[in-house]
Structure 1
């Protein structure tokens, strides 16, 4: 089932759109603000964003999403019809639909974006791991067993997979996973990486999946 992240602060419109999309067979997560919206990226297939929102506006949220996952479809849905708004929206988003709109048109545009971004590479293989990227299920191919991650292990590995082949600093990892500024000397990240390696590495003492880049940070390389 297609999972839609829908961000709209107006209750009347949000209820109507959410109800219509669910009746069409979509799974919808409706948020009234964009706070922590990036946390949903790994579990949804498309985002529909209003522009005028409390806190961060839809433009800022959408740009953040694209920085996190470039190949993720975003549809702007807004009452703002000015050409300059559309131009700004389409500078990062993949479609822009103005209110009022017919629900059939919204559904048609969603379908077009889903076809355009349809992936055939939902399975990622790294060393002895087979990773189903949609729900981050991890299979040990040698043992034919699923590897269960818990808590921060899951979010930490998810962050590595979203930034595959990139060298990530300790600061980037800590801020991306814990949402706080890294303090030099804090052992929290190092401890969690050790626990994660114990789950996914064949030889945690000589890791080949989560590489240590001396003096910089870490990398997961395909």
Structure 2
């Protein structure tokens, strides 16, 4: 089985279009959408585009997906959330219909799949026990040991920090897929991960980022200018 892991799309529809076009040639057996799907300039359009994909898709929940549902329901957001984050979350929630809310509210925190050559692979948004915990290659080893201590699988796929990297923690190989829609990277593009019997491959899909930025700036997203930049 060949699988594509697309994380942190953040409502960047042009970036998603580019990756999906490339996947038509790659022809994965399954696409895993790893959370933080819609928190960005084109939330509804992004979700509806994913609903149109013919390749089987499994979705998991990201922290932003969870927070958007909270805002949609009128419940209080985290007090430590920044003012920009609060404005963005509430704006995204207002774009949704009840069917979108219902879909997001039932997303699982994890998904596990068997991949030839890799065995059972655990997909989570941030860490196995949290959709918002942050770790990077700079995280201290004792903290990494604690985060992944109870993981039974040999491979964990994650996102959340918007950077691609690979780590080994004990018997666990951790692969961060990067971000499709808002990567923290030297080169612009949409970042994602391909895994299969031959191992894994960090991928970057180029697209017209200037045109995408122009389109994003036309949205009423509170952080449209910052997002475009």
TM-score (norm 1): 0.29
Please state which structure has a larger fraction of its residues in helix: 1
Q: Give the number of the structure with larger relative contact order, counting CA–CA contacts within 8 Å between residues 6 or more apart.
A: 2
Larger radius of gyration: 1
